Amino acid sequence: MDLYGIVGAGGFGREVMPLARSMLGKRISTGALELVFVLDAPVETSINGHRVLSTDAFLASPGARWFNIAIADGVARMQLAERLESAGAQPFSVIAPNAVVMDNNHIGNGAILCPFVVVTSNARIGRYFHANLHAYVAHDCVVGDFVTFAPKVACNGNVHIGDHAYLGTGAMIRQGRPGRPTLVGAHAVVGMGAVVTRDVGPNTTVIGSPARPMLAKS
């Protein structure tokens, strides 16, 4: 039997599990696969009706092993993905039934598109992307690997976002122009409710409206 694992059983993992179950339901009902939680050091043997396996037990299981990582931290997600892929497991994406993906988009492996997410047209999105409830990616955006959108992120057209960036709940990114996209750098953090009207540099945290770099405490 094939195993499909949701890595992480915190709040987000428990929200993603029913989406995966809905997507894989026919194959689960026929016994073709089992959908489990995967944790490094599990305490419980079952969560919300699904068996819990340690990472080692999941990787040692016979048959094909597929995984999705429901952990918001992009660096932790990358480290887990590298470990699982190097052991022969393969990523799968989880896409809610009411998520909308329009024309000519590319979305990398291991994505999570939660309910009411919209990706409009001609977007290029990297591996292991997370888009939480009601977030959207508009036309001609380029999104790197291991990027996280919290709920209600509004990423307007012609925005380029670097690897491992984190956009907090309700963040809004101003639309760029062809040849002059709005940039959010790698490992940047856009705070909850921030309104980004100018480029955000790599490794920079911005907050407020309009968004400005957060000053370090003295």
Domain boundary among 35, 62, 92: 92
Contacts 24+ apart (CB under 8 A), 192-198: 192/150, 192/168, 193/168, 193/169, 194/168, 195/171, 196/171, 196/172, 198/174
Q: Is the pLDDT of residue 218 over 50?
A: no
Q: ∠ CA(104), CA(109), CA(112), 5° rounding?
A: 90
Task: Based on the fold, state whether residues 88 and 102 are members of the same structural domain.
Answer: no
CATH code, domain carrying 34: 3.40.50.20
Domain boundary among 61, 76, 92: 92
Q: Is the pLDDT of residue 217 over 60?
A: no
Q: Is the separation of the CB atoms in 202 and 188 below 8 Å?
A: yes
Q: Which structural domain, as residue segments, surrounds residue 123?
A: 94-206
Q: Does a structural domain hold residue 211?
A: no
Task: Based on the fold, state whether residues 142 and 65 are members of the same structural domain.
Answer: no
Share of the chain above pLDDT 70, in %: 99
Mean pLDDT of 145-162: 98
Task: Based on the fold, state whether residues 98 and 87 are members of the same structural domain.
Answer: no
Active site residues: 139
Share of the chain above pLDDT 90, in %: 93
Q: Does a structural domain hold residue 218?
A: no
> What are the pLDDT digits (tens) for 67-76?
999 999 999 9
Task: Based on the fold, state whether residues 169 and 102 are members of the same structural domain.
Answer: yes
Task: Based on the fold, state whether residues 53 and 88 are members of the same structural domain.
Answer: yes
Task: Based on the fold, state whether residues 82 and 111 are members of the same structural domain.
Answer: no
How many distinct structural domains can be found in the chain? 2
Q: Is the pLDDT of residue 77 over 60?
A: yes
Domain boundary among 30, 63, 92: 92
